[in-house]
Amino acid sequence: MTDGATRSTLKGADAPAHPGQSNEAVQSGSRVPASGPQRLVTEVDAVHVAVDLPDGSRRTILHELSLTLDEPVVAVVGANGSGKSTLLRLVAGLVAPTAGEIRFSPAVPRSGFIFANPQAQIIMPVVGEDIEFSLRETVKSRAERTRRMREILTQLELGHRAESSVYELSSGERQKVALAGVLATEPELVIADEPTTLLDLRNAAEFRRRLLELQVPLLLATHDLEFAAQADRVLVFDQGRLVDDDEPAAAIARYRRLALQEPEGR
């Protein structure tokens, strides 16, 4: 369990952009719609990320990345340490670029972040309490929070778990609770970092389906190539660089060849 900071909520016209992010629609006060199909354009402009190491050296995590994302579902694949999770955290505002800028149009979206391990974002010990915690900022009435909590859990077939301890849940149920907490914030962009890693085949298939059915843009990093194949676009990262960017079938075929040539973690 961690604090509420793990549920990143990026405001639009009512809050300043994250360092390294700009909001092209702040002056007009416009905002991406809270629900329903929408078009969000994310521009990553010459972004570079480096970190200082204890020995005084500097390690580059992401090299001079420039791209524009506007598809409904974008999948990011690559070996461990390739930079794919860093891209997700940059877009979410959880990491600031060392250089470069990220721009959104029409506005900086509220983003909901789903981690590989749901325990990184489940805060409260009881399922219903955890969802109500996510609703506190936007729903002031306690009765309305309870109603919305039950509605969201029912949508995810977890209505019977509202009073359950989170420690009693299966891994699949915990990941759905994490998703419920994100949905409670009414995100305009969902970012998922290897969300099916800890799930068995059946639960992974169900979770893929639920994410793909969301009526908001989805940016995900995954080792699950079956999941990536269902995206509209696939980005391939290797050693901090974008090495491929194509429609899923072509990008995944080339990534398979790349993965066979290089040891994991390079």
What phi, psi does 220 have (nearest 5°)? -135, 145
Q: Is residue 117 part of a domain?
A: yes
DSSP letter at 143?
H
CA distance 209 to 227: 9
pLDDT for the residue numbered 140: 92
Structural domain boundaries, residue 156: 4-261
Mind listing the pLDDT tens digit for each residue in 248-261? 999 999 999 988 88
Q: For residue range 31-51, what is the model confidence (pLDDT) as tens digits?
A: 333 344 468 999 999 999 999
Give a yes or no: residue 15 inside a domain. Answer: yes
pTM: 0.83
Is 181 part of any domain? yes
Residue 103 within a domain: yes
Residue 266 falls inside a structural domain: no
What letters, b where the CB count within 10 A reaches 16 and e where it falls short, cover 172-199?
bbbbbbbbbbbbbbbbbbbbbbbbbebb
- Do the bridges between strand 189-193 and strand 41-52 make them parallel or antiparallel, or are there none, so unpaired? unpaired
* Token pair 């990553």: residue: 44
Q: Tens digit of pLDDT per residue, the chain (266 long)? A: 433 333 333 322 233 344 455 544 333 333 333 344 468 999 999 999 999 999 999 999 999 999 999 999 999 999 999 999 999 999 999 999 999 999 999 999 999 999 999 999 999 999 999 999 999 988 999 999 999 999 999 999 999 999 999 999 999 999 999 999 999 999 999 999 999 999 999 999 999 999 999 999 999 999 999 999 999 999 999 999 999 999 999 999 999 998 888 665 44
Q: How many distinct structural domains can be found in the chain? A: 1
Residue that is written with structure tokens 């059946």 in the block = 202
Do 109 and 12 touch, CB atoms closer than 8 A? yes
Q: Report yes or no on 149 lying in a domain.
A: yes
Q: Per-residue pLDDT tens for 115-131?
A: 999 999 999 999 999 99
SS3 state at 217: coil
- Give me 49's structure tokens: 């990320």
Q: Is residue 137 a part of any domain in this protein? A: yes
User: What percentage of the chain's residues is helix, strand, coil (to nearest 5)?
Assistant: 35, 25, 40
54: domain CATH number is 3.40.50.300
Contact, 76 vs 241, CB < 8 A? no
